[in-house]
Structure 1
Amino acid sequence: MNGDLDVVFRAARMVTPDGEVAGAAGVRDGRIVAVEAGASGLRADRVVELAEDEVLMPGVVDAHVHVNDPGRTEWEGFASATRAAAAGGVTTIVDMPLNSIPPTCDLPALDLKRKTATSQAFVDVGFWGGAIPGNVPELRTLHEAGVSGFKCFLLHSGVDEFPPLDAEELELAMREIASFDGLLIVHAEDAHAIEHAPAAVGGAYSSFLSSRPRDAENLAVAGVVDLARATGCRVHILHVSSADLLATVDAARRDGVRITAETCPHYLTFASEEIPDGATQYKCCPPIREAANRELLWQGLREGVIDMIVTDHSPSTPDLKALDTGDFGVAWGGISSLQLGLSAVWTEAQSRGLTLVDVARWMSEAPARHAGLARKGRIAVGQDADFCVLAPDDSFVVDAATLHHKNAVTPYHGRSLAGVVRSTWLRGEKIDIEAAPQGRLLTRGE
């Protein structure tokens, strides 16, 4: 076997599904064909020897990214998004069906999205479909075309071309998706609870926080669980910010409901008490909540109630963030963080006694499984040779102007983060973001 290897990666620290070991990974034709611990005998003409301060990790799989291309390419775009991903150790992204125009809610829109991404992707790209009023007949076709699943909103999405589902439409969609064992991923905030909350006005973050109460999440998730139980549909709760709902998710899972949940680096990093008034770069929906809530989210990860961490990278042009006025009532809600997710999570995880094995499980293995990408997310035989070379003890200060995101707006600006990505590898080849893109477009099951 050794003579047939294209490249061998050797590391004093390598993160595998079984833990962190010293060892080597052998690659042939872009796949991992051998993993050996200890003083490996793997040989190849090309050997990548990691430095003593570097760790070989599986490439991050970010299963919640808004690329906004086509239609709102000035917000991001496949070229800029995937450059940023590669710079941050991400080897696969899964693109959300909004805020592109048209949204990915039928086969022609998916075809256009794929055509747009072709020849622009520096990392591999998968796609979510959308579930909106009236498109139930499109769902099976999109599923057969290879989308990872279907996203829906239960309240206004922020863009008119992606309307929310009411209770009846949600049940129709879930029954159809259950019929082919698909997956529904839900922005779970209750529209009525939001309507009855005080409106966000002006620059006080406390005003914005009051406008998106925890009850909005809690009620929505309870309703989704009830319908999942009735229909048998697999469901996933997006960007959990309220720790209150974790008991509901845990109980539902114990009852046999097929439900998973994610949270995001910003909910695990920031706390509402620390957000300055007028700092609209922190606005996202659902919102960043209190420090005590943040610690309960970390507990949810430790206990396995929250399955994964994804960025929900949702950028916009600076004018839409209302940075000049600092008005949370009118600013676009979205955090720009695709390039920073791994370092942000590692910074917070290590301070709580957690390990890179934990981080890889939450940011690589679980999101890949969730999106139906069987060859992604692990350093194991048969997997794509997608790696992140991380220097976990090195650090840097975030300068938004130097990031590869199209627009230099992020709440991480000026923050010191641990974990420097030294290089990112896709199918055994080092990604060069100044060269021609080599990413592929993925379908569910790959």
Structure 2
Amino acid sequence: MSGPGPSAYDLVIRGERVCTTAGVQPREVAIIAGVIEAVVPLGQDLTSDTVIDLAADEVLLPGLVDTHVHVNEPGRAEWEGFDTATRAAARGGVTTLIDMPLNSVPATVDVAALAEKVAATQGKRHVDVGFWGGAVPGNTGGLRALHDAGVFGFKCFLLHSGVEEFAPLDPEELEQDLRELATFDALMIVHAEDSRAIDRAPHAEGDQYERFLRSRPRGAENLAIAEVIERARWTGARVHILHLSSSDALPMIASARREGVQVTAETCPHYLTLSAEDIPAGNTAFKCCPPIREASNRDLLWRGLQDGVIDCIVTDHSPCTPDLKGLDTGDFGTAWGGIASLQVSLPVVWTEARARGITLEQVVEWMAATPAALAGLRTKGAIAVGYAADLSIFAPDESFVVRAEELEHRNPITPYDQRTLSGVVRRTFLAGAEIDFDRPAGALLWRGKA
């Protein structure tokens, strides 16, 4: 079945391996006006003036959706900014990101701050960008206005966030906000570590990672997650556990779901691929909160993904400047906690997944379709008719060595520096057009409209 003429479609991509909702299949994908118009078996000879034939070693993937990115602009653009972050995303096959309400200044805790954030993106979006709002003490009454302005939900901390302008909620404030969010079915996403448990843990200082790990015990995460679950149970609100690192919490989450609590969870590439035992002394590029834990814990997180208790994999891309990262001192106690990985998240996860016998289509489900569903992005995260033509051409068997100084994000710091990974993103398309880094064409995304 061919189209009516040489310009039937704006673009046709065809090949033996196309990652569809039915798995990796030989398919032809046709695009009109940035939207997937047809997905048919290979050999139908759909026509277009522009046809791309995949090489034998390439797979066509949907653009990844990363719902946990700290862009930091305005206010801390020396840490990261929209130009550099979205360039890194595009190079890594991520075509949609949702920006966290901190560490920008002002934090996105009211409509005026959201307007400043939007203005900061102008002329700098190489991929599509949406925004989370922030829930902090005293802004309960303004949450509905932010929701109506189009944020995808609200982030809160249950302990100090690391920046003074984004204060944490105590459990009673959390419940108050959850009751408010339940009235308009908004999502609360939670950094769940208990401040009381961390206050009583050993202090982190020096270049030994084991000391830092003891300062952020699993118990702090477990206690906070239990608190979030119970407050969600009492209020009927939807909650999402951010960057789960403690496998101890998996049975709690699974049990709560069986009982009808609306709770979801994510984890991150670093928790799935790195281990505490292998972190070199003084290498603060590995510091994040919650921390990277032991190899045995990592294995259980993979099991949590495969069992469906953990819903998705997102980066928590949270970079900073070299001085704040403490590269010169190697002190885990004073270094900023955050992993920079946006550009390499797919090959990082794929390298580990394939070693565990996990398929590429399953990885894509965790990194595209499920985060899109979490945010309510109805046309993102899949190669299917009616979806946005956000795509990447990926060579899963090609290997490369990560070189931090060659990555697009602003500061050349990542724990994956010098690591050999499998999987190269060769081309990325946004709304049916190959991304042109000289002409940023990413759209703004708003809740309920994408």
TM over 0.5: yes
Residue identity opposite 1:180 in structure 2: F
Question: Does the residue aligned with 1:223 lie in a helix, a strand or coil?
Answer: helix
Matched, 1:282 2:286: yes
The aligned length equals: 445
The 2-side partners of 1:41 and 1:328 are apart by: 58
Aligned mate of 1:166, from 167, 170, 178: 170
The 2-side partners of 1:17 and 1:144 are apart by: 32
Aligned mate of 1:382, from 362, 366, 386: 386
Query: Per-residue displacement from partner, 1:194-228 (whole Å, max 9, x unpaired)?
Result: 00100101111000000000000100000100000
Trace 1:298-317 onto structure 2 (pairs within 5 A): 298-317=302-321
Matched, 1:2 2:3: yes
Matched, 1:48 2:49: no
Matched, 1:349 2:350: no
Contact 2:201 2:215 in 1 (8 A): yes
Contact 1:79 1:121 in 2 (8 A): yes
Give 1:111 deviation, angstroms: 0.8
Where does residue 443 of structure 1 map in the other structure?
446
Query: Per-residue displacement from partner, 1:163-209 (whole Å, max 9, x unpaired)?
Result: 00001110111000111000000000001000010010111100000
The 2-side partners of 1:330 and 1:41 are apart by: 60
The 1-side partners of 2:434 and 2:425 are apart by: 12
Where does residue 246 of structure 1 map in the other structure?
250
Give 1:440 deviation, angstroms: 0.6
Matched, 1:334 2:338: yes
The 1-side partners of 2:116 and 2:74 are apart by: 8
Contact 1:118 1:441 in 2 (8 A): no
The 2-side partners of 1:333 and 1:444 are apart by: 29
Where does residue 153 of structure 1 map in the other structure?
157
TM-score by length of 2: 0.98
Give 1:39 deviation, angstroms: 2.1
The 2-side partners of 1:383 and 1:161 are apart by: 38
Give 1:44 deviation, angstroms: 1.4
Matched, 1:143 2:119: no
Matched, 1:291 2:295: yes
Query: Per-residue displacement from partner, 1:378-431 (whole Å, max 9, x unpaired)?
Result: 000110000011000001000000000100010000000100000100011001
The 1-side partners of 2:92 and 2:79 are apart by: 19
Where does residue 134 of structure 2 map in the other structure?
130
Give 1:45 deviation, angstroms: 1.6
The 1-side partners of 2:182 and 2:118 are apart by: 26
Residue identity opposite 1:110 in structure 2: L
Where does residue 204 of structure 2 map in the other structure?
200
The 1-side partners of 2:88 and 2:45 are apart by: 35
Residue identity opposite 2:355 in structure 1: S
The 2-side partners of 1:186 and 1:85 are apart by: 23
Give 1:308 deviation, angstroms: 0.2
The answer for unaligned runs of 5 or more in structure 1 is none
Give 1:17 deviation, angstroms: 1.4
The 2-side partners of 1:30 and 1:345 are apart by: 28
Question: Does the residue aligned with 2:342 lie in a helix, a strand or coil?
Answer: coil
Where does residue 219 of structure 2 map in the other structure?
215
Where does residue 370 of structure 1 map in the other structure?
374
Matched, 1:359 2:360: no
Trace 1:425-436 onto structure 2 (pairs within 5 A): 425-433=429-437, 435-436=438-439
Give 1:11 deviation, angstroms: 1.6
Residue identity opposite 1:344 in structure 2: V
Residue identity opposite 2:439 in structure 1: A
The 2-side partners of 1:17 and 1:258 are apart by: 25
The 1-side partners of 2:98 and 2:311 are apart by: 17
Question: Does the residue aligned with 1:340 lie in a helix, a strand or coil?
Answer: helix
Where does residue 122 of structure 2 map in the other structure?
118
Query: Per-residue displacement from partner, 1:301-333 (whole Å, max 9, x unpaired)?
Result: 111100000000000000001111100000000
Worse overlay, 262-271 or 112-121:
112-121
Give 1:38 deviation, angstroms: 3.4
Where does residue 87 of structure 1 map in the other structure?
91
Give 1:41 deviation, angstroms: 3.4
Question: Does the residue aligned with 2:343 lie in a helix, a strand or coil?
Answer: coil
Where does residue 403 of structure 2 map in the other structure?
399
Residue identity opposite 2:360 in structure 1: L
Residue identity opposite 1:287 in structure 2: P
Contact 2:15 2:42 in 1 (8 A): no
Query: Per-residue displacement from partner, 1:244-280 (whole Å, max 9, x unpaired)?
Result: 0011110001111111100000001100000011110
Residue identity opposite 1:186 in structure 2: V
The 1-side partners of 2:229 and 2:162 are apart by: 24
Contact 2:14 2:42 in 1 (8 A): no
Where does residue 415 of structure 1 map in the other structure?
419
Q: Identity percentage over the alignment?
A: 60
Contact 1:22 1:37 in 2 (8 A): yes
The 2-side partners of 1:134 and 1:17 are apart by: 43
Question: Does the residue aligned with 1:2 lie in a helix, a strand or coil?
Answer: coil
Residue identity opposite 2:50 in structure 1: R
The 2-side partners of 1:282 and 1:374 are apart by: 34
The 2-side partners of 1:39 and 1:235 are apart by: 45
The 2-side partners of 1:278 and 1:432 are apart by: 39
The 1-side partners of 2:189 and 2:107 are apart by: 15
Worse overlay, 39-48 or 405-414:
39-48
Aligned-residue RMSD, C-alpha: 0.8
